[in-house]
Amino acid sequence: MKQAACALTIAGTDPSGGAGIQADLKTFQELQSYGMSVITSIVAQNTTGVKSVHHLPIEMLKDQLEAISSDMPVHAFKTGMISNVSMMKAVAEWVPQVSAPYVMDPVMVAQSGDPLIEEESRVWLRENLLPLTSLVTPNIPEAEDILGESMESSEDMKEAAQQMVTRFGAGAALVKGGHMKGEAVDFLYDGSEIHTFTSERIDTKNTHGTGCTYSAAITAYLSQGLPLVEAVKQAKYFVTEAIRHSFNLGNGSGPTNHFATREEVFNKWF
């Protein structure tokens, strides 16, 4: 019998379906990993912004994590929105129980500018969660926040990726250039060298949830046993096509379209 590749996301929700847990599960499904989810916070949001946030009680978060690790295999997992230190502690205590690659998308603000994590938890994330990761995937503002330095050039991005690993103990770091101008270029430092992933910049406002989709795709590929650099390469392709075929839904920044990428990915790889 075929063994499933099992991917888990630990994150907040997006009822409009473009970001958070919903985006992650769709991505896992499209890429043929078995998707599982642990919810940290319920977020009332859509393409225009965040209305309100409800954090689940900490015992509920712990019970969900326990429900997974006591019963299900985890071949790779990711974290997205983890709003406060208590939740981060619960996740940090759980991580050693699973020996699987850990991808951290250090979600801090929604694309609308609404904060998704409490101010004081940023330091805790950097000092305690980051060293547990196999890969961290900050965008430019998140990398600036973690390092406390502003970034303006490709050289700054490469330097930031290296610092995440050498100074803060991440397993590897992928600094994403979605917020830069020109081509969409991301830099991965894997502990020994810098790898560059480039795509053309697609002219669209519909990029709600690109960071979630990208890190979920990397997690899916890692759950299937791909080596890190190959997982990022293929995930970059997946997210680029999802942005190219994004939906003009809602009144704000519309969601990416995972469905459109399925055939292309299948034609290419199966």
Ligand X SMILES: Nc1ncnc2c1ncn2[C@@H]1O[C@H](COP(=O)(O)OP(=O)(O)OP(=O)(O)O)[C@@H](O)[C@H]1O
Q: Which two tokens stand for residue 161?
A: 């990726």
For residues 219 and 174, the answer to whether their CB atoms sit within 8 Å is: no
214 lies in the site for ligand X, by CB under 6 A: yes
Cross-strand pairs, 10: 38, 79
Return the residues of window 81-110 that contact ligand MP5 according to CB under 6 A.
81, 107, 110
Least distance CB 209 / ligand X (angstroms)? 5
Cα angle: 129, vertex 214, 96; to 5 degrees:
30
Least distance CB 243 / ligand X (angstroms)? 5
36 lies in the site for ligand X, by CB under 6 A: no
Tell me the C-alpha distance between 173 and 136, whole Å. Answer: 5
Alpha helices in 17-115 (DSSP H): 20-30, 58-69, 85-94
The site partner of 219 among ligand MP5, ligand X, none (C-beta below 5 to 8 Å per kind) is: none
111 lies in the site for ligand MP5, by CB under 6 A: yes
How many of the chain's residues bind ligand X (CB under 6 A)?
A: 21
Exactly one of 9, 14, 16, 151 binds ligand MP5 (CB under 6 A); which one? 14
Q: Which is nearer to ligand MP5, 188 or 212 (CB)?
A: 212
The length of the chain is 270
Phi, psi of 42 (to 5 degrees): -100, 125
Least distance CB 202 / ligand X (angstroms)? 4
What is the pattern of x (binds ligand X, CB under 6 A) and - over residues 235-264?
Answer: -x--xx--x---------------------
**Starting from the edge strand earliest in sequence, which strands make up the sheet with 102-104, in order?**
34-39, 6-11, 76-79, 102-104, 135-136, 173-175, 184-189, 194-199
Catalytic residue set: 176, 207, 209-212
Applying CB under 6 A, which residues contact ligand MP5?
A: 11-14, 19-20, 43, 45, 80-81, 107, 110-111, 116, 208-212
